[in-house]
Each structure stands twice: as C-alpha cells, then as structure tokens.
Structure 1
C-alpha cells in the first residue's frame, strides 16, 4: 500500500494528535506540550526544528482512531479565526477558465458531523465534493504545504450562473473538511464516493476520481497564485484551498435536512454534514440522525448514477 500518514487534531481540554501510519497499520496518540498541530508548527518554526521529526520523537501511546471517541477539530485550525483563509481554486483545461473564489475565514470552517447552515438570503443550495489542500505560512513568510483531506462545499448555483459579480457572492457559504489530515502529497489516483440523502433515503450518488496529473496541476497553479500576492503570505496564516471534484454539470438542488456524505476508501476517510436553512431552524426542527444512519458513511455507497 502507498505510504500515507494521517493526523487528527483533538481539541482542548483533551488536546493532542492522533496519528495513523498506513504502512505499519499502527495508530498512536501524541501530546505535544503546545496542544494542537498549529501551535506545534509555530513552536518548531521558532526553533528551526523539523515539525514531523519533532512529533515523531514525542512520547506516544497506542490510541484507537475512532471519531466516536472524541470530537476532533478541523486539522491545523488555529484558535483565531482571522488567521484562517478559505478559498476555492478551479482549474479547467482552458487557461481563461481558471478561477479563484474567496469563501471566508475560520468561522465558516466545520468538520464531520457539523451542520452546514445556509443564510436566509440564499436563492439556491448546491454542493460540491472537494479535495482540500492545507498550507501554512511560516514566520519568514514562506508558504508551506502541509497535506490534504476531503471537503464538503456548498454554494448558490443560481447566483453563480448569473454574472461575474454574483458568482463571487455565491461562494461565501459555510464548508466542512474531514477531521483527518493526510500529511504530504497525493501519491496515487484516488476514488471518491459522494451521496446525498433526504428523509433517510438516498437521493443521488456519484463517483469521482482525482488523478495524479490533475493533482499536480492544481497544486502547481494554487501555490503560484498564492505566492504572487503578499497579502496571502502573512506569517501565521493557514490556507484551506478547496478544489472541486465535480464539473458542475449536475447541480442537485438541496433543501433543509439533507445529508451530504463523502468517503475515500483508499484513505479510509469519510465525513457527513447536514444542510440547515437559517430561516427554517425554528419552524422545522430537525430530528437527530439515528445511530445506524450516522454510521452509514462507513458502509459502501450505492452504485453511482450516471448523470
């Protein structure tokens, strides 16, 4: 199997990092004195230390990496939301179709199980499965690629298709990433499954693939773009860059209560989020998802439909 390392960032008061090595099949818990991954990176940079070696040398204990055991935070997220920049970069064949969209700061970033709240002024709700790349700007202003994970992004497709100005507004919506960070570069093509569920029943299912060639193009373009602009290189900033896996050919309108699930069997990553419309929260309360359903993201998804 390709060698990947997975990190999970658990919150205060527990603190610490869950680490899983795909090559050895071993999981362990590391508790850096700094508490979380962001603070550990800053600590290592201040002392000119390699952060991966630093974490590897810390005392560790065997630890079952089960999301049910603890509520994880979005990996690498600092406590200060203003140190987070969330954006989306699309890369199409034609150079003129490359686009960058600002999504917001850390306040909009959620993780597995968190609701994705949609503002009352939204005209429509659509979702996009994403690969999310995580970058950290070190104390010297250098952009450092840390790793990647899965993401659920929502946008307003009616606004997006209206005009250029409206398109930028369409992306100012909440989003979520999986609680596990895959350290380093993608090493092989990935298969990603996506499912939308409504009223306890599958609504749509689709299958996506991230090729190494596309990954390399996205990474190269994203880094070149971020490094061109000084405001993106403020020391301490964390960039979450969403890269859509879809081609926007089949926007499925979503509604209050729908569940979005995404999983990648090769990386043993999975996450699920529920759509919550702001004006319907008090009018149409949503029941808690049954335990059997909540675990459904660990089961094989239905055969994808051809759109």
Structure 2
C-alpha cells in the first residue's frame, strides 16, 4: 500500500556546515541540500506560517547548495531544530495518556481538564539518533521501549511557543523501577531516548500505527504492534500542551521543546524483558519511518575521591 506524501524536512551537518533538506529520497539517490545557519530554520518557523512552501521559500531563496548522495557517511543528521548550544533544548513528555490505560475512554467533552503526569527526560543534545546506542544503567529492574510521537516547538524572543511539527521516537525507560515506587520515576527516565531526524510538517497526527521488533542474537525475540496518534489518547493534545506551556520554565526565549505524547502498551506488558545488547527496531508503518537502536547496559564510573583536606595554618 502506498503512503500519502507528507511534507517534511530535516537538518544535517556536512563537512562542518549545517544544511536543510526536503523529502526523504531512496538510499543511494542524490539530494540537494541548502546551507543554513544555526537557528535559521527555527527562526523560519517563527516568522512564517510554518507551511512547506513558506519554509522552502525562507531557506532556499539566497543560500549555498550542495548535492550529496543519501547515505554519505559525512552527512550526519540532527534531531529536528536542535540548537548548537548545549541547554537550549529540552526533552520531556506525558505519562498515562493512552485510552488503553483509561478503559478505552476519552476525556469527556467540556469537562474540567485534569492534566496527565509529566516528566523531564533531559536536554535536547542528550537525544540519540537512529543507529546510535541507547545507554541505560547497568542494573535496570525492567526496561520498556516506548514508540511515541514527539511534538517540536520553538519559542520566540518573547517566549511564545511556535509549533513546528512532529517526529517519532523511542522513550526507553525502566518501568520496573517506576512500578516499585512511582516516586522513583525521575530515575526511571534516566535512560537514553532516540528521535528520528525527520520533522513532519502539519498538525499532530491523529492516526499512527506500527510494529516493534526486538532482536537478540540475530533472532527475533519479541514483536508486537502499537498505536500512538491523537486518536489513541485519552487526553486531547491541545489541552496537554497548553497546560505544559503555562509554566514559564519551558517558555524561555529561544528554547526548543521536544514533547513526547506517551506510549501504547509494549513488550513489558507481554511479559518480555529487554536485555543488554538487544536491538529495538520500530517501524512506523503509517508514516513510512523505520529506525533501530541497540541497548547497552553501562556500569557506573567510580566517583573520584575528594581532594584531601588542606590543613589550616
């Protein structure tokens, strides 16, 4: 079945410079990229209506172009709109948002909004890309993969958030630790998260479906389907993000926010346990996006000994 063409873009570095590309050609194909400055594309989302045509006009009018082969090892994709400066992007998300966790119900129309629980995952430069390793603490209780939609916002000079588009990710976390004690959830989330570099333009998707395959020792150890579009959620997306952006801390001028919308039930709920070295492959079939990351358990580095006390003269 052919998929509808959805407008998208991506940024990448090539030989030290930053470029933007439109569409996703087949591996080995040639693609024209447009040179942009750090933050130029984010600024275009603030100064235009964010449409495909407006963004193309904004960044392709007077700029240097290059033509590269897709898959060139010197072409290195970036998370969507990621600023170069550390600490200028945040990754966070919502918990317990899916209808499956609410008996299949949706939030009542016109009722008082009760916001879902929220978590802070890390800075934007902590994000891993497809093919990169997802590091977790050496002794997790029980890991869970979480295929999710991630909304991308950029704040203008006044701190007003501007919606840019959406991408997909795997919010790997230690659900076992969370279940031991929900108060441990901040620790539970200290596992790497991957995002795809493709920024899909347009409203948050209503329907997203796909399949997860977990490979161990070159054999499929577990697989199952998932849904994570707006129609699968108990809460309305607009209500969730409006509540989040009511907090000044996430409205700082120039800040980029990656906001995860929550995940369907996954391998953990089927009794499977992710092991060190497993490869998690997520195929977002509704959008033609597939990505994979290997899980690595990382032992802690011993703390450095404190400096010896300096004797008082």
1:305 matched residue in structure 2: none
CA deviations over 1:81-100 (Å, ceiling 9, x no partner): 31121112132447768211
RMSD, aligned α-carbons? 3.1
2:134 matched residue in structure 1: 116
1:250 matched residue in structure 2: 270
CA deviations over 1:132-165 (Å, ceiling 9, x no partner): 1111111121111111111111111221112231
Q: 1:101 aligns with which of 98, 119, 131?
A: 119
2:294 matched residue in structure 1: 274
Asked whether 1:135 is paired with 2:138, we answer no
1:182 matched residue in structure 2: 200
C-alpha distance 165-155 of structure 1, shift in aligned 2 (>3 A): same
Larger proportion of helix: 1
- Say whether the 8 Å CA contact 1:21–1:27 is kept in structure 2: no
Q: Give the TM-score of the pair, scaled to structure 1.
A: 0.77
CA shift for structure 1 position 14: 4.2
C-alpha distance 235-4 of structure 1, shift in aligned 2 (>3 A): same
2:86 matched residue in structure 1: 81
Between 91-100 and 218-227, report the one with greater CA deviation: 91-100
CA shift for structure 1 position 121: 5.4
1:230 matched residue in structure 2: 248
2:13 matched residue in structure 1: 11
Asked whether 1:209 is paired with 2:227, we answer yes
In structure 2, distance between residues paired with 1:117 and 1:104 = 14
Mark the structure with the bigger radius of gyration.
2
C-alpha distance 198-118 of structure 1, shift in aligned 2 (>3 A): same
- Say whether the 8 Å CA contact 2:93–2:260 is kept in structure 1: yes
C-alpha distance 112-211 of structure 1, shift in aligned 2 (>3 A): closer
2:304 matched residue in structure 1: none
- Say whether the 8 Å CA contact 1:256–1:280 is kept in structure 2: no
- Say whether the 8 Å CA contact 2:149–2:229 is kept in structure 1: no
2:58 matched residue in structure 1: 54
For structure 2, the 5+ residue unaligned runs are 108-112, 302-313
In structure 1, distance between residues paired with 2:155 and 2:285 = 31
In structure 2, distance between residues paired with 1:82 and 1:72 = 19
C-alpha distance 180-108 of structure 1, shift in aligned 2 (>3 A): same
CA deviations over 1:165-213 (Å, ceiling 9, x no partner): 1123211221001121112224552321111110111111111224453
- Say whether the 8 Å CA contact 2:152–2:258 is kept in structure 1: yes
CA deviations over 1:240-267 (Å, ceiling 9, x no partner): 1122331363363212110011112342
Asked whether 1:71 is paired with 2:76, we answer yes
The size of the alignment, in residue pairs, is 274
CA shift for structure 1 position 107: 3.9
1:138-149 equivalences under 5 Å are 138-149=156-167
- Find the residue that maps to 1:267 and give its secondary structure: coil
Structure 1: 4+ residue segments shifted above 4 A: 48-51, 58-69, 94-97, 215-218
